[in-house]
Structure 1
Amino acid sequence: MMLGIFLASGESFKEMTKSGQDIRFKKFYLKTFAKNFSRIYIFSFANEKVNGLPQNVTVIPNKYRIHKYLYGVLLPFINFSYIIKCDGFRAYHLFGTFPAIICRIIFGKPFIFNYAYNYQEFAQIENKKFQKILLSIIEPIAILFSKRVFTATKSIFKNVGKKAVYLPNGVDTFFFRPTKNKKNRVKPIILSVGRLEKQKNYEVLINALRTVNAKLLVVGNGSLKNHLKSIAKNNGVELKIIENIENTKMPQVYNRADIFVLPSLAEGSSKVLLEAMSCGLPVIASKVKGPDEIIIDNVTGIFCSTNKRSIRNQVLKLINTQSLRKKIGTEARKRIVEHFNLSKLILTETKAIQKII
């Protein structure tokens, strides 16, 4: 069986390297796929050559450097000689389904894609009106023409219907694991990881930490960077923002922190939440769809509302109770190992792809 992979719109190995996701993709996904399919063609949106891949994996570049939106439509025709060889396709995210839909309609090729989070909700929160309209058009078409849909949360699973295959995000539990001899600090480090955008609710988190004796470390970049720094300064919050950090160094970042907070207004099956829990960190997360399927309240983590009073109260609860931090961190690690092990989830994904081809 030959498998074609459509990366998300604009995605490439070069972009994955920037975010540190290339190692995860190569080590787990491609390694497993290569063992289960005779040939794999990966259609990249960049004009690139990629080394270190299994012998039966070939990257098909965007050699004419066509804009991502136009290339998504033209890709099946420009690369017809490769498309026709594929027995089916794995598309990434809703915006990665453009070429897959065309291949289904014109060439009759089946495809499966992952519905990672509520795309329209995210667009609405960030006031991306045109994107929200576009998503509302693409979503039903992609589901209609797909054979199956990987849904990262149970709420999306219910919305998709009969074609849904529940597949939450997973984590490399060996790579993201607790380290020994954690230091006791006068000022605990509160960590959060994510885009510096409205959806992540960092402004409220900073306001919640006013007068709290703690340091706030945020790993991520985005349009609100300077705004958040200004708010932290005005509120006397000790904030440090690290914009770029190699994914290989993230376990160290998690293990140096005392508490992880995810105060988002909306989420999916959050990879950073899974990574923090896998490292044995006590976590606090807003009770929204996604985290509510990962955390067992007051056992493997603590829920908060999205307002500053709730966030502040839960942060102080953990800061003031070392035994609770330790207990929640230990239980969090156990839950991730048992239910969100990436190696096991990729085998489930591979079998589902094989069934549609």
Structure 2
Amino acid sequence: MENLKDKNLALFLNYYSGLQVWDKFGMLSREISLYNRLAEKFKTVYIFSYGGVGESEYGKYLKGNVIIIPKRIRIPDVLYEPLIPLHADIIRGCDILKTNQNSGTIAPSIAKLIYRKKLVVRSGYIGSEFARLNKLPLYAKLYFFLAENISYRFCDKAFIPKSDFDTLKSKYPFLKDRLVGMNNFIDTDLFIKKELPKKYDIIYIARFDAKQKNHQGLLEAVAGLGLKVLLIGRGSDKEKMIGEAERKNTKLEIIERVSNEEIPNYYGSSKICVFPSLFEGNPKALLEAMSCEMPIVACEMPGIGNLIENGKSGLLSEPKDDLIRKNILKLLDDQELGKELGGNARKFILENYSLDNIFTKETDIYKNLFRK
């Protein structure tokens, strides 16, 4: 099998994304962990970021052969993207171009055509479906349509979570032989069960600026129960959540930023995790909770029902307040059931989502791209 030590990999981040953004949301160590591992296999790993020159400060968290290429001009990301292939001196020396999400795939697609490099399109969700379900503006739907059609037509391999595999294959039949089911990875050594005093009844980690996350449904489900709820995340709806909790006699605590390393401690300080989201791609927050053996209440919706087996690794219901409430009370009242569900959830993550497994699978695919 081909050795990658003489190869260079280029990662193209998605719009509005960069190491500064990852750090702001406490995701930095999680997002760079795979690329620090890949740096052990490749000669050099380049990261094309949409962050400014301040990105370079994060080089201290990366392996010595991981190089950040920041956005050095102050223009909108949509205008900067087609300019990225002008980094000819760097891209010409790369062997594999990899995307981080569906947004941001036009630049590496152009680079592939110009420089004749291998293109791997990775995404944690189907962008066009995400735009449709979130009812994004027409221009956003058009962008995802174009980005998908261009990148998928010219890619050598396409990575998509197994939950979206059949949908994407049906949407783009020409991808059949290039499509690879590649789940998000979880650092199962970091995300472990912590036996700590219980400070919270419920924990939920999700941003506040997306209706799909259904914070409102959670607050409705626990109204009047007097439970203490911890929400971790940022977003424009924060004040609205605080007001709703006060009206519903819910003890609410919000923490905007928690580092990846601290998240297991917050799970360990909570009795159960409630994940009421209405749809997902391959949600890392849920996967991390499962890795920490949390008893989980969730909605049987796209991107969730395929991860949790009802009654075995969590409790699922339709996204109705009374049904979510019933499952919350059931888990809070039955600690033995919670331990059983959490143990099964951890086993599922170890078998399907561990960083070691994803790293090995990905590097094997890269090696096979160069087989003679």
Question: The TM-score by the shorter chain falls in which range?
Answer: over 0.9
Shift of the 63–237 alpha-carbon distance from structure 1 to 2, 3 Å rule, reads: same
114, 124, 139: which one pairs with 1:116?
Answer: 124
Please give the root-mean-square deviation of Cα atoms over the aligned residues, in Å.
1.9
Alignment of 1:161-172 (within 5 A): 161-162=175-176, 163-172=178-187
Pick one of 141, 152, 159 that aligns with 2:168.
Answer: 159
Matched, 1:23 2:35: no
Report how far residue 158 of structure 1 moved.
4.2
Distance 2:73 2:30 in 1: 28
Q: Residue 224 of structure 1 corresponds to which residue in structure 2?
A: 237
Correspondences of 1:70-85 after superposition (within 5 Å): 70-77=79-86, 79-85=87-93
**Secondary structure, counterpart of 2:316 in structure 1:** strand
Distance (Å, rounded) in 2 between the aligned partners of 1:246 and 1:33: 22
Cα-to-partner distance string for 1:156-210 (whole Å, 9 max, x where unaligned):
3442341211111121111111123x4367xx51111101120101111111111
* Residues in 2 aligned to 1:114 and 1:333: alpha-carbon distance in whole angstroms: 25
Q: Deviations over 1:101-147 (max 9, x none)?
A: 11122222221122212433433444322322321232222211111
Name the aligned partner's letter for residue 326 of structure 2. N
1:137-156 correspondence runs (5 A): 137-156=146-165
Deviates more, 1:114-123 or 1:327-336: 114-123
Q: Is the counterpart of residue 9 in structure 1 residue 24 in structure 2?
A: no
CA-CA distance at 1:288 after TM superposition: 1.6
What TM-score comes out, normalization by structure 1 length? 0.92
Q: Secondary structure at the match of 1:172?
A: coil
Unpaired runs of at least 5, structure 2: 1-6, 170-174
Query: Which residue of structure 2 lines up, in the alignment, with residue 261 of structure 1?
Result: 274
Distance in 1 of aligned mates of 2:241 and 2:198: 28
1:207-356 alignment runs, 5 A limit: 207-356=220-369
CA distance in 1, matches of 2:10, 2:237: 37
* 8 Å CA contact retained: 2:27, 2:259: no
Q: Give the Å deviation of 1:356.
A: 3.1
Distance 2:185 2:96 in 1: 24
Partner of 2:3: none
Counting matched residue pairs gives 352
In 2, Cα distance between the equivalents of 1:353 and 1:158?
Answer: 24
| TM-score normalised by length of structure 2 | 0.89
Aligned amino acid, residue 183 of structure 1: P
2:78 to 63, 66, 69: 69
Q: Is the 8 A contact 2:106 2:150 kept in 1?
A: no
Moved more, 163-172 or 37-46: 37-46
In the other structure, the counterpart of 2:104 is 96
Q: Could you tell me how far apart the structure 2 residues matched to 1:200 and 1:52 are?
A: 31
Report the secondary structure of 2:40's partner residue.
helix
**Bigger Cα displacement from structure 2, 217-226 vs 150-159:** 150-159
Amino acid at match of 1:95: S
Output the amino acid matched with 1:8.
Answer: N
Q: Percent identity?
A: 30
Offset at residue 52 of structure 1 (A): 4.0
The residue type equivalent to 2:180 in the other structure is: V
Equivalent of 2:42 in 37, 41, 49? 37
